[in-house]
Structure 1
């Protein structure tokens, strides 16, 4: 009798959690789209109609970009997860989209790590979290590397003045933080074998897998940055390809360094993009419209699909 009640209590508990995630995600998406002071939904909608954004041809191209973006992300996760236990494309898709839905209401999408780990046996969850960190690390490295190149070109092209004294102070702070981390790691290494376990885990990952994940991360960055460029063209923005790509990589570079709820990610990117594209005398409304379209196609639509997988998720005790 007790076990039966406990089982039902756990089922009810998980149902509440899943419903809270889906309802919370839906509510915040609705709020971001309809309660943005900088982008009135009615004006945004009229702008879409005016530029024929959702014509059949334009919609097909936008969906192709989104499909490629998430196909690459799912493939990357399939490769990483298969290092731990053989994972099919179908399972990788379910895990990726469900974790996206879960992560939208957490800072820096940290909920993604726990959500993906729940799909695996308890003994594998630490490894799964580690593999997820590696996948996101490569995506961040690609964003920073290409972002720095784009940013330097952007600064040179527009002769933007930079306070080098502030940069030098920042570099010194980063250097000190690295030193503290090194001493901290050596201290903990002497106290326990946690760092050794992490090092052993990283050393176990073959070079071929690292190269695959890095290459897929590069392809994914190229896909969503060119999707952004395509959206700008749909809004009839007069800008050269080189200027557009340097500006787009600069936007991703700056916004990637600011911790924020994923649901507010497009607000951050919109704010940064307004400043960057102001050097090309492009109206803020157009840029906000473009970043919103990007957010809807690459986060909202996949999150809606992921909501189904969240609701149908069954924890180990009910499988």
Structure 2
């Protein structure tokens, strides 16, 4: 393929990504009027200063969340190449633009690794998997703590003590195995090396075995920070609209909700419906104001997805699909 053909194809791909992202953003904003109307109704009698502060805080936390993710991305890629903090931020936001048009946000991987040199992109994919495993571990640990609290508070009387403690033992065993797997990723690499048709790709996935315990712990700290930011976003909005709920109730229910929604496969275009349905049924145990909770979930989803996707559009044109000159 000639240089000119590569450039034409590269620009065509960028235009297609932007067109799909623009359609998605328009579609979502056009269909969120009802949620915005509900939100206006709920805040009509609230102090305007408190409302403004809460919305502003949630927006700032969105930026903090993706900044932490950018720091984590910069950290995991140190095994490959030293990238600047700004390039890490660009790649994360660009990945979010890709994510909204792909199932299970798999496009986020492609959007990020395109900011790496050609020869490092596949390695970068496996480095990103390590970061994702860290986030998944934190979500499972805190989420299952929330699940146990939820079962103990609302379901234990129905299932009895024996079943409850069986669940506790199962959760403890599951988390033990999950931690064992995460802190021994090199064992997985050894297993893959024993598979004949996979062994030839060891030069790519072998990077996962190069992360030491201290580095894996640091990845967990970044992941825990992001989880805390998510939780605080939900707490601020839910407390604004349903102030009678206690801090513990909101936090533990949000922990449970975040675990459930992370386990449900979906396309981002349908994701808000899945989240709203899950939140409504989960929070039905703790409040009769499910509509208020659904509105909170919708607003956070829009803030955490639409704004970053718009920002990411600015960086799509910096992608290099073929080589550094494409």
TM-score of the alignment, normalized to the shorter chain, above 0.5 = yes
Distance 1:217 1:129 in 2: 18
- Could you tell me whether the CA contact under 8 Å between 2:275 and 2:297 is conserved in 1? yes
Shifted more, 136-145 versus 192-201: the winner is 192-201
1:249 aligns with 2:255: yes
2:266 to 256, 260, 270: 260
Out of 289, 301, 310, the residue aligned to residue 307 of structure 2 is: 301
Q: Which residue of 2 aligns with 1:106?
A: 102
Among 40, 46, 49, which residue is 1:46 paired with?
A: 40
Mapped to 1, the partners of 2:277 and 2:267 lie a distance apart of 15
For residues 106 and 240 of structure 1, do their structure 2 counterparts lie closer, same or farther at Cα, with a shift above 3 Å needed?
A: same
Name structure 2 gaps, 5 residues minimum: 175-187
Cα distance in 1 for partners of 2:144, 2:12 equals 44
Please provide the CA RMSD for this pair.
3.0
Distance 2:244 2:201 in 1: 52
* Residue from 90, 97, 107 that aligns with 1:94: 90
1:151 and 2:157 are equivalent in the alignment:
no
Are 1:225 and 2:231 counterparts?
Answer: yes
Verify: 1:16 aligned to 2:23, yes or no.
no
Provide the C-alpha distance between the structure 2 equivalents of 1:296 and 1:34, rounded to a whole number of angstroms. 12
The answer as to whether partners of 1:34 and 1:40 remain within 8 angstroms in 2 is no
**Offset of 1:83 from its aligned partner?**
1.9
1:283 aligns with: 289
Cα distance in structure 2, aligned partners of 1:17 and 1:82: 29
Identify if the C-alpha distance between structure 1 residues 15 and 95 changes in structure 2 by more than 3 Å, giving closer, same or farther.
same
Deviation at 1:229, TM superposition (A): 0.5
Distance 1:293 1:121 in 2: 37
Deviation digits for residues 203-243 of structure 1, max 9, x if unmatched?
A: 22222221111111011101111111011122234211111
Listed as ranges, the gaps of 5+ residues in structure 1 are: 175-181
Residue number in structure 1 paired with 2:178: none
Picking from 113, 117, 138, the partner of 2:113 is 117
